[in-house]
Structure 1
Amino acid sequence: MRTFICTVLFIGILSNTIAQNTTDMKDFDPAFAHIVYFWFKDPANVKDKTHFEVSLKKFLSTSKYAKTNFIGTPPKATRDVVDGTFTYSLIVTFESAEAQQSYQEEDVHLVFIEECKHLWDKVLVYDSNGIK
């Protein structure tokens, strides 16, 4: 009986996870990736981090051009080649370089920059075209 209950729970959790992934996620678009690293002036300031996350999530949820996004923080580096000095990272995918350029000029993007630019000391961007 215990095995049956554990199996049913496992199947329920697995199917819920699969359902969330297929309904909540947009498809990753390999055409163009925009990777941004932010270094905050005060990286330990919780209020600054909260303000940044709220503003960034609001912006990304209303962008007409961003297809998928990933917001991250540095993990504890275990290798010398890993740079963990940034405060936040952002990866956004687009269907084309032209869509990414439109995103740069989009009102919601400009509002995000205005709301948060006082928080960062440095921003570094890497843009990449996908290999076909």
Structure 2
Amino acid sequence: MKKTVCILTLLFITITAYSQQDKTMRSLDSHFVHTVYFWLNNPDSEEDQKQFEKAMKKFMKKSNHANTHYVGKPPKATRDVVDDSFTYALIVSFKSAKQQEKYQNEKAHLAFIEEAGSLWNKVIVYDSQGIKL
């Protein structure tokens, strides 16, 4: 009886965790994804990191066109195929390419570039449109 209860409990936890993960995976709007990698001039400077993160936080709060967003830093690469040379990554999703175009010219985006642009020496952008699988 105890084994059955344990097995049913584990099964319930597994199903619950899987269903939560599934919901999270669907939250990214795959219509149009804008991925930006930033290389700061002084990547080890805590002051520059704080300034960049403050500007990014303000930008993401004020953006009227970004549907979802993610900002991260690279973990230490453990495989040769992983590029961990960047300082920050920004992934933003949009309902359409037209929304992404509006985002490029909105005040919040332009203010972010003005405020934090001097902190980086390299930016690479990858845009993609979702496909149905």
TM-score range, shorter chain: 0.7 to 0.9
| 1:12-27 alignment runs, 5 A limit | 27=27
Are 2:38 and 1:54 equivalent residues in the alignment? no
> Quick one: percent identity of the two aligned structures?
54
Regions of 4+ moved over 6 Å = none
Question: Match of 2:118, SS?
Answer: coil
Q: What is the CA distance between 1:103 and its match in structure 2?
A: 0.1
Question: Match of 2:54, SS?
Answer: helix
The CA RMSD measured in Å over matched residues stands at 2.0
Residue ranges of structure 2 left out of the alignment (5+ in a row): 1-15
Q: Deviations over 1:74-131 (max 9, x none)?
A: 1110100000000000000000000000000000100000001100010000000111
Tell me the matched-pair count.
Answer: 112
Question: Match of 1:101, SS?
Answer: helix
Question: Match of 1:82, SS?
Answer: coil
Distance 2:98 2:77 in 1: 35
Q: Deviations over 1:59-88 (max 9, x none)?
A: 111111001111010111010000000000
Residue ranges of structure 1 left out of the alignment (5+ in a row): 1-13
User: Could you tell me the TM-score, scaled by structure 2's length?
Assistant: 0.79
Distance 1:69 1:83 in 2: 21
| Structure with the greater alpha carbon radius of gyration | 2
